Structure 1
């Protein structure tokens, strides 16, 4: 599962992990802002049904429970109240966010209803192709260089719609036996999706987080690399930085620049590693990118 296609001339991916608590949403937010700081126009799409999602982290003024508000789900089921271009909210310079909405919790039921209606009229309907339809119809490739979709980790129509739309994943994981098992489980999930709907999904990067460079962790990384998965960087334990971001509702870059009275080397190192990861992803998509360090795997933290 390497090298899935995306929209031509764009970088599109979803940070995905079957295991919880690995910083999937923090990774999505940090990479989105890193891409923007490199000069790219970024669209982040929040398809996470949990309250602790990109919409909360970036903190825009938005009521995700407003039943009258136009939102992504309405567009997915063909009942928008306006243009897709009116959904995104600029949350940090260069980053537009399509916020989450509580209607996402019922997306499966909505899509089943649409499928049933289409079949009653003898029409084909792809339950998992609706996000791709919406993004293609909205011409996002004309407005954005990068699309990052953050979803719930579990299998289902939200994750499947994201994977069909972006065709690529970035996998944050803890370098433990449990974390390794979650990667293998995701591999099986994507293989099954590829077989059922004929879509190739590629792994752009595996990102060890909370890495301490122990012997067991090095062996796990060697096994993952031996399976053909790229590991451009590793990230050490940075809980206080990410907790600060959630508290202040901003990216790590803004947090360090605006909410730290003094620079902390380990935080600057973390941002440098995410920058190098973002440059790796941009190069994979053929986007122009500033040079930032090396693309070789890092094992010191």
Structure 2
């Protein structure tokens, strides 16, 4: 099984777009894919794929209720089938208060003399729902900021993919993420692996070549490098679909560099699948 979360401390590097595109890439490769939206921002996977869902409805069952042990139904009833057969667990506004909810549960457990980890609740929910039996790939999109949401995602998936802007700011974000992961490993006792670093918006300048070289020398895996694709990605958000559907349905003519981008995401998806030991059939037409 392949499980990971795209993570970056720097904003605007395409974290959610990466999560969405890779989820569709895995599904097009014939894998059963679960995407989980744990991003509190409105511009998240839930908006990107656009299922008919009211994230502000306080009565609807949602992931937060399951995380704090108060579900209104079965976990699998939370999912919405979206593009390419990807199953999506949408985000909900209750995520903004997850820290307080989990802290309250921990305080109650402490008073009862029970053990309770605030950061293992997504892991528990996925385990109890037998997600490993139902899916080949789980992709969790989460906030980049340190806290219970990100920690729950990391404990559950144990792997990260890092979208990266080849700038000094991007280097700082990777160093900050390294510190965050090291601290989590030390405090909670788990190992978190970096499956891949994904440079995005690469223009092949001298400075970018130097930064990319330093990144590779540091030992991070860099399977593909994505060029500047602002128009494509903006179009995806506007039409609420992956680059695959956008090019197929909303481009009047095919553009070679955009087709190359799809091939690169397919190559990255295949690399990640191989890392997890998944057989990768040919990409569907």
Query: What do residues 235-280 of structure 1 show as CA deviations (whole Å, max 9, x unaligned)?
Result: 0010111111111111110111111111111110111111100000
Equivalenced residues, count: 283
Paired with 1:15 and 1:30, the residues of 2 have a C-alpha distance of 11
Paired with 1:99 and 1:236, the residues of 2 have a C-alpha distance of 29
Paired with 1:255 and 1:211, the residues of 2 have a C-alpha distance of 21
Query: What do residues 143-183 of structure 1 show as CA deviations (whole Å, max 9, x unaligned)?
Result: 10000000011000000000000000000010001101100
Residue in 1 that maps onto 2:96: 105
CA contact (8 A) 1:169 1:201 kept: yes
CA contact (8 A) 2:29 2:282 kept: no
Q: TM-score normalized by structure 1?
A: 0.93
1:51 aligns to 2:42 (yes or no): yes
1:233 aligns to 2:224 (yes or no): yes
Paired with 1:204 and 1:213, the residues of 2 have a C-alpha distance of 23
Paired with 1:121 and 1:226, the residues of 2 have a C-alpha distance of 51
Spell out the pairing of 1:1-301 with structure 2 (5 A cutoff): 10-290=1-281
CA contact (8 A) 1:279 1:290 kept: no
Q: Report the Cα offset of residue 290 of structure 1.
A: 3.5
Q: Report the Cα offset of residue 227 of structure 1.
A: 1.4
Q: CA RMSD in A?
A: 0.8
CA contact (8 A) 1:40 1:94 kept: no
**Large movers: runs of 4+ above 2 Å:** none
Paired with 1:291 and 1:75, the residues of 2 have a C-alpha distance of 36
Paired with 2:207 and 2:240, the residues of 1 have a C-alpha distance of 35
State the SS of the aligned residue for 1:149. strand
Q: Which runs of 5+ in 2 are unaligned?
A: none
With 124-133 and 282-291 compared, the bigger mean Cα shift is at 282-291
CA contact (8 A) 2:9 2:173 kept: yes
Paired with 2:214 and 2:156, the residues of 1 have a C-alpha distance of 29
With 270-279 and 282-291 compared, the bigger mean Cα shift is at 282-291
CA contact (8 A) 2:30 2:281 kept: no
Residue in 2 that maps onto 1:5: none
Paired with 2:228 and 2:221, the residues of 1 have a C-alpha distance of 21
